[in-house]
Structure 1
Amino acid sequence: MIVSTHKPILVVEDSVEDFTALGRAFRKHALPNQLLRCEDGDQALEYLLGYGKHANWPQQLPAFVLLDLNLPGTDGRTVLETLKRDARLQSIPVIIFSTSTNNRDIEDCYRLGANSYLTKPIEYAALEEKTRLLVRYWLNTSELPLTN
């Protein structure tokens, strides 16, 4: 069992390179929260729907979810829809973090309940800036719900 005073940040990302870059950017901004990675939608739903049941997962639900759309197995849209339909999970902020700039993807995600939609930057400096803004807004400015 992992115990922390800070809720973890769940990153649902199939790319090792993207997750590594995100982790480095979050560390640069002194993120005190544990970054928890799920490699696909199925693993994310297993954690979120059954949190606390796996010895290597935190006993807490995440402060927010950073969710890629195009995942192997269950895609990000299905994960988003499942979270927002579950009474225990629907108040957790879900931030879509995708390479897609397609207007239909953006509209669909907001319709399904996304709290924000960010496009993954190509350059690392831009990723660091988006990460800084994520930490500042979602962890330092916004009042997050007490989900558990």
Structure 2
Amino acid sequence: MNSMSHLLLVEDNQDDYEAVVRSLKKNHFMNPVKWCKNGQDALDYIYKNNAYNDNTDASLPDLILLDLNMPGIDGRHVLQQLKSDKNTRSIPVVVLTTSNDAKDIEKCYDLGASTYIQKPVDFEGLTQAIRTMKDYWFGVAILPRKDL
């Protein structure tokens, strides 16, 4: 993966955001990570609206880590929007959430989620989950090219 590739983390909880970033660093993930604090912020970033309208640094992410349960526009709506748009549907979306509800899992896969991961309760479990995710998505999988 080239140095310009980046990950978008959509997470409303600052503690969870910081834990994911620490886990990424512990697993030697050196690519840029953009943090959007809610679903509206994520959609604005991806579609270059509002605060990101003139932001030349806002580019489509190579992978999205998406929390489901956020105030306002939740992760389900973000996922639905991204997967219904031909310009964004090929971006892999990994749902990373506390929910293990079978209805949430089924709904996310129906909407086009690439993977569904329940957030582990401790840092070591999160670090292992992030390691596995990083090894697969940034080591094994071939991600779609954004310049086509």
- Would you say the 8 A contact 2:46–2:59 is kept in 1? no
Distance 1:111 1:103 in 2: 12
- Residue in 1 aligned with 2:97? 98
- Would you say the 8 A contact 2:43–2:78 is kept in 1? yes
Structure 1 gap ranges (5+): none
Equivalent AA in structure 2 for residue 144 of structure 1: L
- Residue in 1 aligned with 2:120? 121
Distance 1:58 1:137 in 2: 26
Equivalent AA in structure 1 for residue 7 of structure 2: I
- Residue in 2 aligned with 1:67? 66
| Residue 147 of structure 1: how far off its partner (Å) | 2.1
Equivalent AA in structure 2 for residue 129 of structure 1: Q
- Residue in 2 aligned with 1:37? 35
- Would you say the 8 A contact 1:65–1:92 is kept in 2? yes
Look up the SS of the partner of 2:29 in the other structure.
Answer: coil
Deviation track 1:80-124 (CA, whole Å, cap 9, x = no partner) reads 000001111000000100100000000000000101000000011
Query: How large is the Cα RMSD of the aligned pairs?
Result: 1.6
- Residue in 2 aligned with 1:18? 16
Distance 2:12 2:38 in 1: 6
Look up the SS of the partner of 1:77 in the other structure.
Answer: helix
Equivalent AA in structure 1 for residue 106 of structure 2: E
- Paired residues in the alignment total 144
Return closer, same or farther for 1:98/1:110 CA change in 2, 3 Å cut-off: same
Query: Does 2:85 match 1:80?
Result: no
- Residue in 2 aligned with 1:8? 6
Equivalent AA in structure 1 for residue 6 of structure 2: P
- Residue in 2 aligned with 1:132? 131
- Percent of counterpart pairs with the same letter? 38
Deviation track 1:14-67 (CA, whole Å, cap 9, x = no partner) reads 000000011001001111211110000000000111287443x73431110000
Distance 2:57 2:100 in 1: 33
